[in-house]
Amino acid sequence: MTDTQNKEAPNQPYLGNVKIARVSTVAFFIDTQLHSQISMTIQSGAKVSIIASDPALNRPIEGSDYFSIDIRREISPFADLLALIKLWKLFREQKFDIVHSTTPKAGLLSVLAGKFAGVPIRIHSYTGQPWVTLNGIKRTLAKLGDRVIGFLTTACYADSESQKAFLVSEKLVSADKLSVIGKGSLAGVDIKRFNQGRFSKSERDSIKESFGISQDSTVLLFVGRIVKDKGVLELIEAFKNLIARSSNTNLYLLMVGPKELLNDELGIEENSDISQKIIFTGYTDFPEQYMAVSDVLCIPSYREGFGTVVIEAAAMGITTIGSNIYGLSDAIVDGETGVLVKPKNVQDLTQAIDKIVRETDLRKQLGNNAQARVLNNFSNEVINRLVIEEYSVLLSRLEKVNDYGG
């Protein structure tokens, strides 16, 4: 391990030749959440390896190595044991200084493999707890997994203050081991990329036209996996309620993300009037193009981490209506940058959307406030630098311990 301070710029963390593994259950998470953070870590001098289930990243990161190991979301004893053994072998072969995991299953297997392989610094970032919506043995096992992660990590992070408080209150992680990077979020937002000024009026008009959306329409936006836990059933029901009112005939709903539910499961009849106004785009590497033509982001999730998509939309001047749950309650300042509603409550969600759609001055003010908050607190350059500083601090502490022990 080399010095962790850049001699040419003493105030900038330098991780020359430090070997870091970033582990996630799926490459999608790396592509959408951690791309810039890993790139910046490499620029700091570190040698970064990425580990996930998929054969490759959609957006390869220059200077990184990629290893594909089958890490499954669901509980699968044989596959999980095989993944644990493969991770342990890889960690021993590569001799990583730091293993930093995100997503629950990757976190559990990484801290176990890292402990067995003798990785000196084991880090996990909590980004939401799937067990919150589970019952029975699945909930018990998933919750136990989070507790094991908290016990075996060298340090761990929550992506918001409310999530930290929740994890501590559930006695999953001790308060002295768990912290929040900066003002929160996993990796901040690229304010150069998520910038309304990148899109000309003709480009925005063209995007709308491609979906058959008239230029004077109001567009609601959802971004994420289209699954029950994201509150999509309530969102579609609320949208139906709004369309039923004659004043909302020019309202559209863009659903951006992998569609994991069928139309009949979503309550959408084929070839109905509603089906013409709800547009499913599928997965995209460029959600900003849809944000550029949208007026309100809707995230009525049952569980959520900090909500990266909230600050991405905010960077483009878009207000958000979201569930009043931990994570989102940090990403959205109720009544100032957006609106928080009761989770799983269609009536509350319908009323909030109706108010924001009708009151254009309020919508613009909330969007402006949200944008200012992001620019001041959640730039990815700020958050990523703080993460690299955390690496540097942990490495320095380890060196002191080794010096003392030697």
> How much is the mean pLDDT over the chain?
91
Mean pLDDT lowest among 95-99, 178-182, 229-233, 303-307? 303-307
Predicted confidence at residue 401, as pLDDT, reads: 62
Range among 175-179, 215-219, 295-299 rated most confident: 295-299
Nearest C-alpha neighbor of 233 from the set 362, 131, 323, 293? 323
Q: How far apart are CA 354 and CA 247, in angstroms?
A: 10
Over residues 247-283, the pLDDT tens digits come to 667 999 999 999 998 998 999 988 888 899 999 999 8
pLDDT reported for residue 303: 85
pTM, whole model, 2 decimals? 0.80
Distances (CA, A) of 335 to 314, 332, 358: 14, 9, 16
104-129 average pLDDT score? 95
Greatest mean pLDDT among 117-121, 131-135, 158-162, 374-378: 117-121
Residue 130 has pLDDT above 90, yes or no: no
Q: At a CB cut-off of 8 Å and minimum separation 6, what does 270 contact?
A: 263
Q: Quick check: 1 pLDDT over 80?
A: no
Percentage of residues of the chain with pLDDT beyond 90: 76
The Cα angle at residue 18 between residues 17 and 23, in degrees rounded to 5:
130
pLDDT one-digit tens code per residue, 317-339: 999 999 999 889 999 999 999 99
Predicted pLDDT at 246: 63
CATH numbers and ranges of domains, the chain: 19-188+380-397 (3.40.50.2000), 196-377 (3.40.50.2000)
Q: Residue 81 pLDDT > 80, yes or no?
A: yes
Give the pLDDT of residue 50.
98
pLDDT reading at 51 higher than 50: yes
- pLDDT beyond 70 at 403: no
Stated as kind and residue range, the H or E segment containing 201 is helix 201-210
The pLDDT of residue 405: 52
Is the pLDDT at 11 greater than 60? The verdict is: no
CA 253 to chain CA centroid, Å, is 22
pLDDT in the model for residue 9: 40
Q: Average pLDDT for residues 351-376, to the nearest whole number? A: 96
